[in-house]
Amino acid sequence: MLTDRIVFTNDTYISWDQATVHQMSHGFGRGSAIFEIMGLHSIESDSVIFRLDKHIQRLYRTADLLEMEIPFTPEQLAERVKETVRRNQVESGFIKIIGAYTDVAFSILPPDAPLSISIFVVDPEHDLGGLSFPFDTGTTVGISSWRKLDPQTVPVEAKAAANYLNGMVARNEARRRGFENVVLLDTQGFVAEGPTESIFFVKDGTLWTPAPGTVLKSITRSSIISAARFYDVDVKEARIPRRWLLTADELFLAGTPNKVLPVRQIENRTIDTVPGPVTRNISKIMGDIINGRDENFRKWLFPVVSG
């Protein structure tokens, strides 16, 4: 249960119920909290964190973009992540780092102080009642009438709480229309991404994904691109027109919880073969990596106890 979890916050370890802030804090009232979510996987006698170094680098990048200060070095923060996992004795699940201004603040400007850093570890099976990732049946996706935040308005690559209101309204709209997931276009009408997922297309055996610029620099996305190219899958990044959503041979979403989630329906179009052959191949490649079966990518896995 979540109430049994131990939380790291500001160099102390507290109970789940103690991890609270005032409702008038800047992080809560202004949505200025920043965060990272990463996967924890069980391999043999240890648990490993998927691409811990890249997640911490991106957290610091977000802080830089928003002129925030993290009161630890990256190395110190990485060790605190591992220690929080050890104290919770969770073998697999998710880790979330949150950086927030916890002091009461009325101004739009944040307090002149470093962020408060908290680390949470969750076992979906025991804490959340399990999560469903229907790889064999796939998911349904609607195209939102809302557009992805424009990079000229806010830094879209920042993982900040306020940025995710965009995805929330898009997914709410899609759910009302009967779809399980949603994809947003950018303000120029090209395909961007889902609220918390990247999107990949397969056309004539080539794997395509929207180019950086209007999308989050997703670690799952970059991992899929790197691993696919290593195994000679042709991968291209481009500005992708909306019509590809309705003509691609295969589609899949990609994110931390589900590295590869096939799409069986996009708007009123049903995709005949789900998962398709390229999607299955990418899923196998990523599954071998996160389960420690691929020595070529073992460096992406950070042991919690050893190493």
Indicate if the pLDDT at residue 56 is higher than 90.
yes
Indicate if the pLDDT at residue 307 is higher than 90.
no
**pLDDT at residue number 89:** 93
70, 81 in Cβ contact below 8 A? no
Q: For strand 12-15 and strand 6-9, is the pairing parallel, antiparallel, or unpaired? A: antiparallel
Indicate if the pLDDT at residue 205 is higher than 90.
yes
221, 254 in Cβ contact below 8 A? yes
Please, what is the average pLDDT of the chain? 95
pLDDT in tens, 118-169: 999 999 988 888 777 788 999 999 999 999 999 999 999 999 999 999 999 9
How far apart are the C-alpha atoms of 178 and 227, rounded to whole Å?
34
Backbone φ, ψ for residue 216 (5° rounding): -65, 145
Confidence band, pLDDT 50/70/90 cuts, at residue 46: confident
Confidence band, pLDDT 50/70/90 cuts, at residue 34: very high
CATH superfamily of 139-290: D-amino Acid Aminotransferase, subunit A, domain 2 (3.20.10.10)
pLDDT in tens, 267-276: 999 998 899 9
| CATH number for region 2-127 | 3.30.470.10
Question: Which distant-in-sequence residues (6+ apart) come within 8 Å of 47 by Cβ?
Answer: 40, 41, 85, 90, 91, 92, 303, 304, 305
Q: How many CB atoms lie within 10 A of CB 136?
A: 9
End-to-end CA distance of the chain: 29
**pLDDT at residue number 306:** 62
190, 242 in Cβ contact below 8 A? yes
Q: Say what the pTM is.
A: 0.94
Q: For strand 93-100 and strand 34-43, is the pairing parallel, antiparallel, or unpaired? A: antiparallel
195, 164 in Cβ contact below 8 A? yes
* Count helices and strands in the chain by DSSP H and E runs: 7, 16
Backbone CA torsion sign across 42, 47, 53, 59:
positive
What percentage of residues in the chain have a pLDDT greater than 90? 89
pLDDT in tens, 60-95: 999 999 999 999 999 999 999 999 999 999 999 999
* Burial group, residue 169, by CB count within 10 angstroms (0-12, 13-18, 19+): middle
**pLDDT at residue number 137:** 92
Indicate if the pLDDT at residue 44 is higher than 90.
no
pLDDT in tens, 206-257: 999 999 888 988 999 999 999 999 999 999 999 999 999 999 999 999 999 8
23, 11 in Cβ contact below 8 A? no
How far apart are the C-alpha atoms of 239 and 102, rounded to whole Å?
39
Instruction: Name the residue ranges covered by the structural domains of the chain.
Output: 2-127, 139-290
224, 200 in Cβ contact below 8 A? yes
**pLDDT at residue number 128:** 87
